A and B are shown apart, each in its own frame.
Chain A
Amino acid sequence: EPEVTQTPSHQVTQMGQEVILRCVPISNHLYFYWYRQILGQKVEFLVSFYNNEISEKSEIFDDQFSVERPDGSNFTLKIRSTKLEDSAMYFCASTRGVYEKLFFGSGTQLSVL
C-alpha cells in the first residue's frame, strides 16, 4: 500500500527557533493536511491544502505557522518561532478525495525546550 512519508521522526528545538517538518504525500493525491496530537489528547486539525493554496485552517494555525508545496512532491509545515506549547506529534495526511480514505504519515514528534 502507498505511504505518506514524514521526516524527521523526532525533532528537538529550542524555544523561539524555526522548524520545518517535511512530508511526502502519496503521488496522485490532491488534498493535503496537517494535524497535531499533544500527548494524551485528541488529534487536532491544523490546515488543509488544495490546488496550491490553503483551503481551511484552524484557530491553532496562527501567523507562526505556514505550509508550502514547493515542488509538487513535498509538503512542509513551518513554525517560525516555536513555543513550548507547540510540543506535539505532527501528522501529515493526504487523500484523493472525499470517497477515499485519508492516509496518515507516522508523524514527527516535536519537542520544544
Chain B
Amino acid sequence: AQSVTQLGSHVSVSEGALVLLRCNYSSSVPPYLFWYVQYPNQGLQLLLKYTTGATLVKGINGFEAEFKKSETSFHLTKPSAHMSDAAEYFCAVSSSSGTYKYIFGTGTRLKVLA
C-alpha cells in the first residue's frame, strides 16, 4: 500500500524567505510523486511531478522538489516566497501499476508574512 505523510499542517514564512514543505512517502513499488497547489475555492493544480530520470524536478512558479529514495522524501522548496504563494499544498504518490490512483497527503497550508 502507498501512503504520504506531510509534516506540518501549517507553515509560515516571511516574504522573500525560503519555502520548505516536507513530504515523505511509503511505496512498495517505484513511486510517482506529485505536488499540487490549491488556492482558496479552487481545484488542484499540478506544480511538479517526478516519474523517472532526474531526481531534481522543477515546476511552475519557481518551485522545485528533489526525490530522495534513501530518505523516501520529496520535499518542495522555493528560494524566495511571494505573497501569492499562500495556498494549500498537497503531496501525492501514485504508481505505474493498477489504476494509477493518486494518494494525497493531508496538506500543508502555507502562509506568507509581509
Contact = CB atoms under 8 A, between A and B. Distances in A.
Contacts of A48: 99-101
Given A42-B104, A48-B99, A107 B43 contact: yes
Interface stretch (A12-20, A63-71, A79-87, A96-104): A96-104
Contact of A55 (B90, B99, B103, B105): B99
Contacts of B99: 31, 48, 50, 55-56
B111 interface: no
B44 interface: yes
Contact of A91 (B44, B51, B96, B100): B44
Interface string A47-77: 0101000011000000000000000000000
Given A42-B105, A45-B102, A45-B103, A102 B46 contact: yes
B100 A97 contact: yes
Interface residues of A, number: 23
A98 B96 contact: yes
Majority SS at the chain A contact face: strand
Given A41-B106, A43-B90, A98-B32, A105 B43 contact: yes
A42 B101 contact: no
Contacts of A7: none
A56 B1 CA distance: 14
B1 to A, nearest CB: 12
Nearest to B52: A99
Contacts of A97: 100
14 contacts: A31-B100, A33-B101, A41-B106, A42-B90, A43-B44, A98-B32, A98-B51, A98-B95, A98-B96, A101-B34, A102-B46, A104-B45, A106-B43, A107-B42
